[in-house]
Amino acid sequence: MAQFEPRIVAFLCRWCSYTGADLAGTSRLKYPPNVLPIRVMCSGRVDPTFVVNAFRKGADGVLICGCHPGDCHYNEGNYNMMRRFPLVRKLLAQFGVEPERVRLEWVSASEGDRYAEVVAEFTDEIRKLGPLEWAPMMAPPPVQTAESVVTAK
Amino acid sequence: MSKPKLALYWAASCGGCEISVLEVNEAILDVADFFDIVFWPVGLDFKYHHVEAMADGEVLLCMFNGAIRNEEQQHIAKLLRRKCQVMVAHGACACWGGIPALGNVANREEIFDRAYFTAPSVDNAEKTLPQTSTRVAEGELKLPVFFDTVYALDQVVPVEYYMPGCPPVVDQTVAVVQTVMSGDLPPAGSVVGAGSKTVCEECPREKHDEKKVKRFRRLHLCDDLDPTKCLLEQGVVCAGPATRSGCGGKCVSVNMPCRGCYGPAAGVTDQGTKLIAALAAVIDSTDPDEVQQIVDTIDDPLGYAYRFGMSSSSLRRVRTHG
Ligand code: SF4
Ligand code: SF4
Ligand code: SF4
Ligand code: FES
């Protein structure tokens, strides 16, 4: 059987982490191609709604990367994300989504190698967890059969 | 000329929305004057076959409360949808699943197991479980199929208007019915009988947008709450920032946190994750370990986030496989 290839959505802050990811590319570092990067202004822009929506729409893992603490271009953005993160994980766990499927990392513009490592490690971890497959949870109600309908006369 | 027809129905509901209709007091007389009530299981003796006999589109307005949790409710929702011109999801349950949709943390098997076998008050030595079909001497008895998942009304049939609240406040109910009576209808898909801001904006409490929370607290364990200040900033989970205005701040004006019964505020797609962001925003710490400790003082984020909206939440239900 073919190896399961996880689909990972990565929200990357444009100032540090997206530049770091770019550097990984221009340095020709090798890392798994499983990540769909989405550039955001700041990790603090990553509303928990984005995370649940990624899972609902088929992601197996969600990676959020921002500037190191103290380096956020909007001062508090990465701290805001850091405060949301454990709550989001706890909420996901209640939905039966392993909390390890969402990860928060600080990656600076010069850390192309670190970005490549994080992606490799995370892809590996998600591969072990297996597919999430949320679509069946969103299925419509079963179609009714004429005889199973109760009609009080 | 015959009067326009009105139908009311309850599906997976508690009856509170029905009671709130009766609470409109003498305004009910205007309603009865204007409309011919053709179906209302809680109030009048009409049967399903009376509805089946009507022409499609014959009913002007259907006020449908309750969520969809079984096959009978789905069937009646589809039937009423055919017969009516304007379908109103009446109350939190019909709009987004409401309280019954908290059942989406389990499935049918788990719910039956609890309800018929393991709940402390149950005495069921014969292990009797409801069956969709049972043979008895007199013939076959049938019960509707109980779904694994609770659905909002619009997940089963198209809906014209959403009327939030658990239950909707009486003035809003009157206003909505009067709007329909006036014939001047808002665009389909609108939320009616509610505001366009958040509960915070109609809350009388002082809010400072400061981070001051070192721990979250259950309301009944607090004896030092300042009645003039924002509850959330005092560490009591309040859904005001994520919830649509319209109730007039009913709970927060009497020292109760908002539970979120008016649903997601305008422009908010997921009330729960919006609330999660608002809770995180009052946490007073920049240390990951301390943040974790503070978060651990909230036992049930899902319950706060989706008390009235599991069905319409981004993830809808807990995972049942894998
Ligand atoms: S919305 Fe609230 S009052 Fe209305 S039926 Fe549901 S639980 Fe009851
Ligand atoms: S969070 Fe609650 S108590 Fe605070 S302002 Fe908003 S509605 Fe009022
Ligand atoms: S304060 Fe919140 S829970 Fe209370 S009635 Fe208003 S919307 Fe509903
Ligand atoms: S700008 Fe990079 S985390 Fe805020």
Instruction: Respond yes or no on whether ipTM tops 0.85.
Output: yes
pLDDT attached to residue A105: 98
pLDDT attached to residue B308: 98
In chain A, which residues have their Cβ closer than 8 Å to the Cβ of B320? Answer: 96, 136-137
Q: Within 10 A of B40 (CB to CB), how many other CB atoms are there?
A: 17
Q: How far apart are CA A95 and CA A150, in angstroms?
A: 33
Least Cα separation, residue A113 to chain B (angstroms): 24
Find the radius of gyration of the CA atoms of chain B: 22
Do A51 and B273 make contact, defined as CB atoms within 8 angstroms? yes
Give the model's confidence band at A145: pLDDT under 50 very low, under 70 low, under 90 confident, else very high.
low
pLDDT attached to residue A152: 45
Is the CB of residue A38 less than 8 Å from the CB of residue A8?
Answer: no
pLDDT attached to residue A153: 42
Residues 9-38 of A with CB under 8 A from B: none
**Domain residues of chain A, as ranges?**
8-151
Q: What is the pLDDT of residues A43-92, one digit of tens each?
A: 999 999 999 999 999 999 999 999 999 999 999 999 999 999 999 999 99
Among B261, B273, B268, B280, CA closest to B305: B273
pLDDT attached to residue A146: 53
pTM beyond 0.80: the answer is yes
DSSP B150-175: EE-GGGTS--SEEE-SSSPPHHHHHH
B106-132 burial, b for 16+ CB within 10 Å, e for fewer?
Answer: bbeeeeeeeeeeeeeeeeeeeeeeeee
Least Cα separation, residue B114 to chain A (angstroms): 19
pLDDT tens across the length of chain B (322 residues): 689 999 999 999 999 999 898 888 888 888 888 999 999 998 899 999 999 999 999 999 999 999 999 999 999 999 999 999 999 999 999 999 999 999 999 999 999 999 999 999 999 999 999 999 999 999 999 999 999 999 999 999 999 999 999 999 998 888 888 898 899 999 999 999 999 999 999 999 999 888 889 999 999 888 889 999 999 999 999 999 999 999 999 999 999 999 999 999 999 999 999 999 999 999 999 999 999 999 999 999 999 999 999 999 999 999 986 5
| Non-local CB neighbours of A80 within 8 Å, separated by 6+ positions | A44, B280, B281
Query: A129 by DSSP, 3-state: which?
Result: helix
Q: Which ligand is nearest to the CA of B259?
A: 3
Give the model's confidence band at A144: pLDDT under 50 very low, under 70 low, under 90 confident, else very high.
low
Find the radius of gyration of the CA atoms of chain A: 19
Q: How far does CA B3 lie from the centroid of its chain?
A: 31
Domain A8-151 -> CATH class: alpha beta
Q: Would the pLDDT of A149 be above 70?
A: no
Atom index in ligand 3 nearest the CA of residue B247 equals: 6
CATH value of B5-99+149-182 in 3.40.50.620, 3.90.930.60, 3.40.50.2020, 3.40.50.700: 3.40.50.700
Among A93, A103, A44, A87, CA closest to B292: A87
Instruction: Describe chain B by its helix, strand, coil percentages, rounded to 5.
Output: 35, 20, 50
